[in-house]
Structure 1
Amino acid sequence: MAHMTNPLATPDQLYQRTSFSALPSDLQDIIFFTTQVLTQAAGVLLRIPQSVAAQAGVILARYWLIASPLSHEFSDTSAAALFLVAKLSAHPCPPRDVCNVYAYLLSPSSPLFRSPSNPSTTSDKDRDPSSYYLSESAYTTFRTRILSLEARILYSLSFDTHVALPHPLAVTYLQALDFLSAPKTEIAGRAVAYLNTALLSPQLLYLTHQPNALAVAAIYAAARDVGAKMPECAWWEVFDVEREELGFLVVGMRSLEGWARKQRDGFEELGKGMVTRAFVEGEMRKRGLRIGNGSGGVVVEVEDEEAVMMRRLDEKAAELEG
């Protein structure tokens, strides 16, 4: 059964992620969400199977339990995780393809993360290919960063890249519940959509629950959406899932859309493109925080009040001069 289970996050790892020395929770969540979306979008453009992109998302989440997201640019970590997982699969991607795809997704010509109402958003015919053209030197630099991060990810995870996805189990459970027949195929599609959505959840559902629980929750949520008749007994227990765990996962999967909409309204940056490390550092400065180097790596520290006042005066002076 080992190939059907995953190593889950420990309480210490989850506490370290949410401890006072880490990023503010809202910034941490938006970094995770946007980076996972970027990873999935890159997988689509690279024409690799969804299973590969999903595994890359899980590897990325595991790495960020150990290393701070602020250690590197978020898009670089995404590219390294996707490149690593694709290399280990039957669908490897050349480094140049990966770099070109990310250059496009991060360029002003990409519609990813851009609001339709944003004036900077361009139509297909108005996109400028030069905005995502990679020169030889830029490609070499980008490739070097990806290869370096690939090694860091492998070392941090002790070379354990095993990821069991819930999608195959979901198909088996759907068949057992007779939800794969012609009139009920919509349930299967919705269940897979919920499983893909769970990859983006800042609640780290793939790191805190086993694939069988995720599969059952996705099927339950999909069946409720279409009003399908479910077995009257506690059928989830047959698949080794408790009612409390099922309820938590269903709520987590169904609430992500509303959460993402709320974040878009709260962070104007989400309508302008991919969230960057520079944007996060700017948000932290507004809150009197700064990035420092601790014994365990990158940490977030509270700025001295005098330093905050002097920095704001400098910023105000720069605005007046401009």
Structure 2
Amino acid sequence: MATLYPLASLAQIENTPSKQDGIPDDLEEDLRAYGCKLIHQAGILLKQKQVAVAAAQVLFQRFWFVTSMKQFGVGDIGMGALYLASKLEECPIRMRDLINVYDLLLQRASHALVGKSVDMFQYHPMSYFGNTFYDMKDALVVAEMQILKRLGFNVHVVLPYGTLINYLRVLELTNREDVCTKAWGYLNDAHQTPVYALYQVPTIVCAAILLATRQLQIPLPSEPPACWWELFDADWEDVWSVGGSIMRLYRKRTEEEKNRVVGLVNKKDVRSWLEENAPQAGSDSTSAMSVT
């Protein structure tokens, strides 16, 4: 088994467990983003603190560098990550409330999957004496345990918000509310990507500031020897790479791509998809193995 780090190793990045099982890079990327969206939506409905939601998303992203989506569903692991992070950040939530919220979100996603209007959606609460609740409860307990086990209990998460404020002060941008708001938003959106498991926090914060200032057309010193990101020991190529990962979230997706992701929230659906796409998935996996 590969050595576990808060930041993924090169081998884990090049050949993730999901990729080894035949899941294409673009599908894994979309499933990671969708799982984090579910965590974010659940956090809002539960009125959970932002630090707990952000920590859950980071743990969720780390998990997929050591485990395949063929073994665990993004819905279950997202639920387990939020439950664990809420305890780590000392703002615990009730298991029953979390299960109810995820049941609501998954029902609404299934409703949209069949082409029905969201306005027509009606939630049907589960019976606490039926199998659904106890199946989800078991899945939640297993997910939390597996996150702890597979991450080697290394669940410390450094969040970027304090660093952002400090950097904006150095750049004398704290008086620009629009810059602060946009950069903060980019940091939140970045949780839908694996960048928090790939790069140090200063690099990610610099990328958020870069995107915000460029969108607002605010010039910052960018010519050697006075490059602003060098103040924070960030490498330009890494900053640019993180910015690209964030911007990929906003690309247009077809209805087919959206539905494919929603329909692969649990491991059974992923396994069925892999069986149906076995020739193509297998060739992708083989080529990936040969590269490494």
Q: Could you state the TM-score of these two structures normalised by the residue count of structure 1?
A: 0.77
Match of 2:95 in 1: 95
Aligned-residue CA RMSD in angstroms?
A: 2.6
Match of 1:226 in 2: 216
Q: Does the 8 A contact of 1:187 with 1:226 survive in 2?
A: yes
Structure 1 residue 31: deviation in Å?
1.6
Amino acid at match of 1:105: L
Structure 1 residue 76: deviation in Å?
0.9
Structure 1 residue 287: deviation in Å?
2.1
Amino acid at match of 2:219: K
Match of 1:120 in 2: 116
Alignment of 1:163 onto 2:162: no
Structure 1 pair 134/167, CA: closer, same or farther in 2 (3 Å)? farther
Matched position secondary structure for 1:162: coil
What is the correspondence of 1:289-300 to structure 2 with a 5 Å cutoff? none
Distance 1:54 1:104 in 2: 21
Q: Could you state the TM-score of these two structures normalised by the residue count of structure 2?
A: 0.84
Q: Does the 8 A contact of 1:269 with 1:275 survive in 2?
A: no
Distance 1:271 1:81 in 2: 19
Structure 1 residue 247: deviation in Å?
1.8
What is the correspondence of 1:1-322 to structure 2 with a 5 Å cutoff? 7-17=6-16, 20-107=20-107, 110=108, 114=112, 119-123=115-119, 126-130=120-124, 132-137=125-130, 138-181=132-175, 184-201=176-193, 204-231=194-221, 233-258=226-251, 261-262=252-253, 264-267=254-257, 269=259, 275-288=265-278
Deviation readout 1:101-139 (Å, 9 max, x if unpaired): 0010001xx369948xx741231xx44232x43423432
Structure 1 residue 15: deviation in Å?
2.9
Structure 1 residue 250: deviation in Å?
1.9
Deviation readout 1:43-85 (Å, 9 max, x if unpaired): 1111112221111111111111111122123211110111011
Q: Does the 8 A contact of 1:27 with 1:280 survive in 2?
A: no
Q: Which runs of 5+ in 2 are unaligned?
A: 284-292
Q: Does the 8 A contact of 1:77 with 1:146 survive in 2?
A: yes
Structure 1 residue 159: deviation in Å?
0.9
**More relative contact order in 1 or in 2 (CA 8 Å, sep 6+)?**
2
For the pair shown, the structure with the greater C-alpha radius of gyration is: 1
Structure 1 pair 230/251, CA: closer, same or farther in 2 (3 Å)? same
Structure 1 residue 24: deviation in Å?
2.1
Distance 1:193 1:41 in 2: 15
Q: Does the 8 A contact of 1:113 with 1:270 survive in 2?
A: no
